[in-house]
Amino acid sequence: MLPSLEAVVGRCEVPLYCVGVVTTAWLCLWTVFRLLSGVRVWVLGNGRVVSPQLGKWAVVTGATDGIGKAYAEQLAQRGFAVVLISRSQEKLDNVSKSIESCFGVETKTIAVDFGATDIYPTIEAGLAGLEIGVLVNNVGISYSYPEYFLNVTELDQFISTMVNVNITSVCQVSTCPPPPLFFPESKGVILNISSASAMYPVPLLSVYSASKAFVDYFTQGLNMEYKNKGIIIQSVLPFFVATKMSKVRKATLDKPTPERYVAAQLKTVGLQCQTNGYLPHAIMGWLTTALLPVSVMTRVAMRVNKALRAAYLKKRKER
């Protein structure tokens, strides 16, 4: 004779109750842990890690505008001498004079075009003999406007330049400082500037998104390789910051100035190997990855970028 429904429910009541208790306790502990971790990173921070005790010099690529310039200034404010690497010698000289005047530190400039691949001996020679404590691989380029892959003007050159600037530079510059930051007895910080677009595919910005995903994965791999050897290697994934490259002209809470973003990001060094760098961006990153499927975010990005593409082409046609 089969047991009655009441008997089956009675037998399951205690095990189900135990499962519910354990699940609730685990969720409570996880929530408390996440809140405490958030307070540790975003309220208390770790601002003392990045200091000249790591080494006299900080090296910043793409240092004449936007986030790169903000890193150079913030590091100079902390007492680092700064090596500025970018394409325009005129812009490098202007930023160099400004930093020396405002912060009273030594600077050095190296003018190279990261779109080329024969520049790294020049960079290595320029860094020879320097005690380097911080390297910021910031240089990067994006699309002039969202576009379908096969419609990009001069596609072959576009691909080559994007790969050289966004990918090759990160790998090659990391090997240039002599002695390398990767020596067993070294200490230092390497910040590789990726992008929030690396967190999921971004249609109509496909090459840029993929190149920044490379930077993120490369950085996380290096961090695992060298985390026990005194080197902090961090992947930085900002959302929009008010810079020329992002075409955001007015800073807001979720689109901060480069100075505000960098000041917040430097406090996360040593606390997160992968960071959005800024509390509103961290919240946006959590919402768009933990709560929404990648397929949803990809469709949303496609819709937004199609609208931006149409607006750009319409405006260009009207000119």
Give pLDDT tens digits for 125-180: 999 889 899 999 999 999 999 999 999 999 999 999 999 999 999 999 988 765 55
Closest by CA position to 271, among listed 240, 236, 241: 236
**What is the model's pLDDT at position 9?**
59
N- to C-terminal Cα separation, the chain: 85
**What is the model's pLDDT at position 177?**
67
Under CATH, which number does the domain 49-314 receive? 3.40.50.720
Are 196 and 237 a contacting pair, CB within 8 Å? Answer: yes
What is the DSSP secondary structure assignment for residue 44, as one 8-state letter? I
Query: Nearest 5°: phi and psi at 225?
Result: -70, -35
The DSSP code sequence of 51-69 is SGGG-SEEEEESTTSHHHH
Q: How far is CA 75 from the centre of its chain?
A: 17
Those residues with Cβ within 8 angstroms of residue 129's Cβ, 6 or more apart along the chain or in another chain: 178
Known catalytic residues are 208
Q: In terms of DSSP bridges, do strands 132-137 and 188-193 run parallel, antiparallel, or are they unpaired?
A: parallel
Alpha-carbon distance of 82 to 97, in angstroms, equals 12
Alpha-carbon distance of 43 to 221, in angstroms, equals 28
**What is the model's pLDDT at position 214?**
97
Alpha-carbon distance of 294 to 55, in angstroms, equals 41
For the chain, which residues score pLDDT lower than 50? Answer: none
Q: In terms of DSSP bridges, do strands 107-111 and 132-137 run parallel, antiparallel, or are they unpaired?
A: unpaired
Alpha-carbon distance of 145 to 152, in angstroms, equals 10
pTM, two decimal places: 0.87
Those residues with Cβ within 8 angstroms of residue 47's Cβ, 6 or more apart along the chain or in another chain: 266, 267
**What is the model's pLDDT at position 10?**
62
**What is the model's pLDDT at position 60?**
97
